[in-house]
Amino acid sequence: MSQVKFNYFLKNNPNNKRELPIVMTITMSGERTQMFTGLWTIRSKWNNKYNKVIGTDPESKSINDTLLSLTSRGRQVVNELVVSGRPFNPNTVKDKLKNGFKQNLKTIESYNLFLQRMEKKIPSKYTRSTYVKYHNTKLRVEEFIKHYTKRNDIYLYELDSDFMESFDQWLRDKYDVAHNTVYKTYQRFTRFIREEVSKGNLERYPFPNYKIRMIQKQGHYLSFDDIEKLENLIVDLPRLYHVKHLFLFSVYTGLAYADMNKLSKKDLFTDDDGMLWIKTHRQKSKSRVSVPLISNAVKSLQILTTGEFQIQKGKLLPMKSNVRLNYEIKQICSMARIKDYEKVTWHSARRSTSSIMMKAGIPLQILQKVLSHKSLSTSLMYYTHVEDQHVKEGMKLLDEKLNQKVEIPKDGPIDLNTLQTLLKNSLN
């Protein structure tokens, strides 16, 4: 097989700026074809001998970098065709190049367009905070491209597994980030990448050999006894009294901060039996939330909505910033003499919902429903923080039943009234 050569020349077809188009020639075994690169320059800046633009200004550098990338991609295409074993000629190479280039889209350039599309879908599909996370990921990718290639941007077709591997290590070394932070950065970046693939701007997913998984961590939670301590804690300071009942309301409903923050009066319903319900959709997953309020939740709700605390117009609860709540709940847990109070965050409340349900013997399927988990496996992560004391109590009960030759009943369906009664009794 003859060697495939790539060269460039200026075609005498000026535009209104008197610039000439830069054309690539692909030569093989005496056959030759041409392909427009999408680049333009003036004749005085073109070096015929070296097939490049003269100058060190940003525009000249960008053009020359692009020409190098085109040549590199051309050689890559030739290698792919050789490996395939199929016959090819300069037109075959040209067609594959044009297919791969599409509009010669660059990575950061395309990511900015992706962010623009995302921003237009706030708040219908995305939250502002989600958008900010994707924007920050773009900044990291942009910074790494400059470090990795010494260029301001690279073409989408230049991305590969080596790029992602290097990006991973660079994030860890430069910013000392945890493994899961790298995973989330990768997840956001590849969401953009997969969209480009689906639009046809990339032939295929570029990181097939890069693998990373989320490391599942045991989140902090409060035990049933800890929750009782909070309930019984006398708090004289209004702002802390306020936070205490916000936290307890989260415990008794399983609602996350974002979901509590967006609650309005229209999300509160009373059924035919006079029981109050919260019916809404999760901010994070958009999954349906339907939670009956047990007496302790109703008590906290009544305290929070007496008018003592300022409630934003249209909202159900007197919420504060997440940062403020995380700070103040640690203070309250310290006052209640809760072990490891410094580890308590607002999300600990949602994780602690399983503590009261476990104490009451509520089946895993009900926990899944209350927490609006899409899969039982997610709920199981919440349920498996069973304390040794609970294990001990359960095994003692099993021992008693076996010795009494009493058949252990299988878990069957449980109605909501029973759920309310079990929870109410367990908390009294």
354 domain-assigned:
yes
Phi then psi dihedrals of residue 291, to 5 deg: -125, 120
pLDDT at residue 362, rounded to an integer: 65
pLDDT at residue 408, rounded to an integer: 41
Closest by CA to 346, choosing from 250, 212, 412, is 250
CA distance 206 to 368: 36
pLDDT at residue 399, rounded to an integer: 66
CA dihedral 339, 345, 350, 356 (to 10 degrees): 10
pLDDT band at 293 (very low <50, low <70, confident <90, very high): confident
364 domain-assigned:
yes
Buried/exposed code over 387-401 (b: 16+ C-beta within 10 A; e: otherwise): eeeeeeeeeeeeeee
pLDDT at residue 300, rounded to an integer: 92
First to last CA, the chain: 86
Same domain, 379 and 276: yes
Per the structure, the complete domain to which residue 25 belongs is given by: 5-101
CB distance 42 to 23 below 8 Å: no
Same domain, 53 and 30: yes
Residue count of the chain, please give it.
428
pLDDT at residue 241, rounded to an integer: 94
pLDDT band at 407 (very low <50, low <70, confident <90, very high): very low
- pLDDT digit string, tens, across residues 17-65: 889 999 999 999 889 999 888 889 999 999 998 999 998 888 899 899 9
Same domain, 159 and 25: no
- pLDDT digit string, tens, across residues 351-369: 887 767 766 666 656 666 6
Tally of structural domains, the chain:
3
- For the beta carbon of residue 58, count every other beta carbon within 10 angstroms: 9
The residue that leads in pLDDT, 128 or 387, is 128
Same domain, 370 and 274: yes
209 domain-assigned:
no
218 domain-assigned:
no
38 domain-assigned:
yes
**Lowest model confidence (mean pLDDT) among 24-38, 210-224, 255-269, 347-361:** 347-361
Residue 287, pLDDT > 80, answer no
CA distance 210 to 194: 15
Same domain, 306 and 422: yes
3-state DSSP assignment of residue 285 = coil
Distances (CA, A) of 235 to 92, 94, 258, 317: 78, 76, 25, 19
Indicate the residue among 41, 70, 101 that finishes a domain.
101
pLDDT at residue 375, rounded to an integer: 54
pTM of the predicted model over 0.75: no
Work out the percent of the chain whose per-residue pLDDT is above 70: 79
Same domain, 82 and 117: no
DSSP class of residue 3? P
8 strand-pairing partners: 24
Phi then psi dihedrals of residue 22, to 5 deg: -90, 125
Same domain, 176 and 239: no
Same domain, 245 and 178: no
Which amino acid makes up residue 388?
Answer: D
Residue 275, pLDDT > 70, answer yes
pLDDT at residue 252, rounded to an integer: 87
Same domain, 186 and 324: no
Q: What is the mean pLDDT of residues 2-16?
A: 88
Phi then psi dihedrals of residue 53, to 5 deg: -85, 140
345 domain-assigned:
yes
pLDDT at residue 414, rounded to an integer: 47
- pLDDT digit string, tens, across residues 111-165: 999 999 999 998 888 888 899 999 999 999 999 999 998 889 988 878 999 999 9
The residue that leads in pLDDT, 74 or 402, is 74
Indicate the residue among 101, 134, 163 that finishes a domain.
101
Indicate the residue among 101, 125, 155 that finishes a domain.
101
Residue 411, pLDDT > 90, answer no
User: Any residues with CB less than 8 A from the CB of 360 and at least 6 apart, and which?
Assistant: 422, 423, 425, 426
Same domain, 132 and 272: no
Same domain, 73 and 131: no
Same domain, 19 and 96: yes
**Lowest model confidence (mean pLDDT) among 24-33, 217-226, 274-283, 364-373:** 364-373
CA distance 93 to 106: 21
Q: What is the mean pLDDT of residues 299-313?
A: 91
pLDDT at residue 147, rounded to an integer: 93
The secondary structure element, H or E, covering residue 5 is strand 5-10
pLDDT at residue 104, rounded to an integer: 60
215 domain-assigned:
no
Which amino acid makes up residue 101?
Answer: F
229 domain-assigned:
yes
Give me the chain's average pLDDT, please.
Answer: 83
Task: For residue 269, give the CATH number of its domain.
Answer: 1.10.443.10
